[in-house]
Structure 1
């Protein structure tokens, strides 16, 4: 089994590790776009062009499914990706986990990039899946870029700024950018600070697990978490075969995949979370 993931940067790491959790035997192709990042400020047409380029590079390695590990690319490029690649290569997009977060009732906060916050796309998801639930949209300027660069100080500042905009009684936080899942525990800590003891713990909702499960469903494969781990990992940087970016190794997910990349072995994926 071989599954490819695309993103402008290391936001695809959580979904890649989620695939490894469900199918440790899966070979992975990670196709990033350092020459074109960030995608967020680009026009929809530009995002589509860059997403198609990294998807084509990944597709040349013969994957059975392609995960779009980026919210921005899923919004703007998914139709074009599916038009070009399907049905031969199933394409799975990433959608913010608003539905499961809202299922537990409010209040719910959605942390997202400034471009996504307040967008027609996000408002549509809130209308469709969180109608009647108290939802606060929280813009997180600079957080994705700070995570991408593994800039510890910038991450802490961006998380603190977003936490200050998050209601103290929030029950759930939707991580509306795949990069945010790499600093999930920092977000949980910041949101929980000063919270009344009587309130339940804050639940964080990312998309990685659901996306990985959907990829397996699309290719008719069942989870097999006890399967023998694969050492197959291909990293493409704007189409060039390489190793994981150094910043990826600042995160547990990147170190796990880096062990495959550098040593040809992998630790149990259950250790990541």
Structure 2
């Protein structure tokens, strides 16, 4: 395929639900010329309590769907799927695929001063210890402690980010982490940046919060440049940004409303598909 043709192709981005929109938002900001096809698996959210086998199956289905949209690269904008399925799908599909874990681990390793890092995420992500493995592979002197926060995802998905009950849940999950001597905390789920201000308020200003979304967007930019697939101008040549398409497996109207509350550009339509067909 000609290089110019590949440059015009969109980037596929997927997550278990709305959390991956934090990554899509960062891609829109850092790579405004790129087009995006986003899939949110809203019918099967959350992923964090599912088995590795199930997460890999879901990821395969979604990637097969995204390939029908002729994407040039795929971003797994979900920590759970990045932790449990990335290696498997990279072996299976001949397309560049990146996750959010490695960029976040690198950023935390570079930020910590006292070499004590905390990670919050879904049960599956924390149990996998993927952040700990990646960080200590580069610096064994860094200690990494994890805390699963399974209720954060449904609270975000249901629009309770600013509700007082969320603050109570934050206290339950993070009280021990706040008492510890970590200086860096990884928001190890793409839903969690939507709780960033509440977590920041609770943990205090001295703790550096790492949001892997920005680092992931920059990794994607480097990857596309290396592969000569970076889009120089918007695909339609006139608009100030690329074209964005959104698909979900359930509750399209609810997803659209949420997306329009956090993305820099309004989306007009969200299409619902049966992902089990892929």
- Taking structure 2 as the reference length, the TM-score comes to 0.78
- Residues 241 and 208 of structure 1, relative CA distance in 2, 3 Å threshold: same
Q: How does 1:26-45 map to 2 (within 5 A)?
A: 26-45=34-53
What residue number does 1:184 align with?
Answer: 196
Q: What is the CA–CA distance in structure 2 between the aligned matches of 1:225 and 1:212, rounded to whole Å?
A: 17
What residue number does 1:248 align with?
Answer: 258
- Residues 4 and 207 of structure 1, relative CA distance in 2, 3 Å threshold: same
Q: What is the CA–CA distance in structure 2 between the aligned matches of 1:25 and 1:44, rounded to whole Å?
A: 35
Verify the 8 A CA contact 1:111 1:137 in the aligned structure 2: yes
Note the residue ranges of structure 2 that are not aligned, 5 or more in a row. 1-7, 270-278
How far does residue 117 in structure 1 lie from its aligned partner after superposition?
A: 2.5
Which of these residues, 94, 98, 103, is aligned with residue 92 of structure 1? 98
How far does residue 143 in structure 1 lie from its aligned partner after superposition?
A: 1.0
Q: What is the CA–CA distance in structure 1 between the aligned matches of 2:138 and 2:159, rounded to whole Å?
A: 33
What residue number does 2:76 align with?
Answer: 68
Q: Which runs of 4+ in 1 moved over 6 A?
A: 223-227
Verify the 8 A CA contact 2:11 2:71 in the aligned structure 1: yes
What residue number does 2:18 align with?
Answer: 10
Q: What is the CA–CA distance in structure 1 between the aligned matches of 2:153 and 2:119, rounded to whole Å?
A: 14
Q: Secondary structure at the match of 2:240?
A: coil
Aligned residue pairs: how many?
Answer: 249
- Residues 243 and 60 of structure 1, relative CA distance in 2, 3 Å threshold: farther
How far does residue 79 in structure 1 lie from its aligned partner after superposition?
A: 2.7
Q: Say whether 1:121 aligns with 2:124.
A: no
What residue number does 2:267 align with?
Answer: 260
Verify the 8 A CA contact 2:14 2:76 in the aligned structure 1: yes
Verify the 8 A CA contact 1:28 1:232 in the aligned structure 2: yes
Root-mean-square deviation over aligned CA pairs: 2.9
Q: What is the CA–CA distance in structure 1 between the aligned matches of 2:130 and 2:143, rounded to whole Å?
A: 18
- Taking structure 1 as the reference length, the TM-score comes to 0.79
What residue number does 2:219 align with?
Answer: 214
Note the residue ranges of structure 1 that are not aligned, 5 or more in a row. 193-199, 263-273
Q: What is the CA–CA distance in structure 1 between the aligned matches of 2:48 and 2:186, rounded to whole Å?
A: 18
Verify the 8 A CA contact 1:108 1:134 in the aligned structure 2: yes
How far does residue 231 in structure 1 lie from its aligned partner after superposition?
A: 5.7
What residue number does 2:169 align with?
Answer: 158
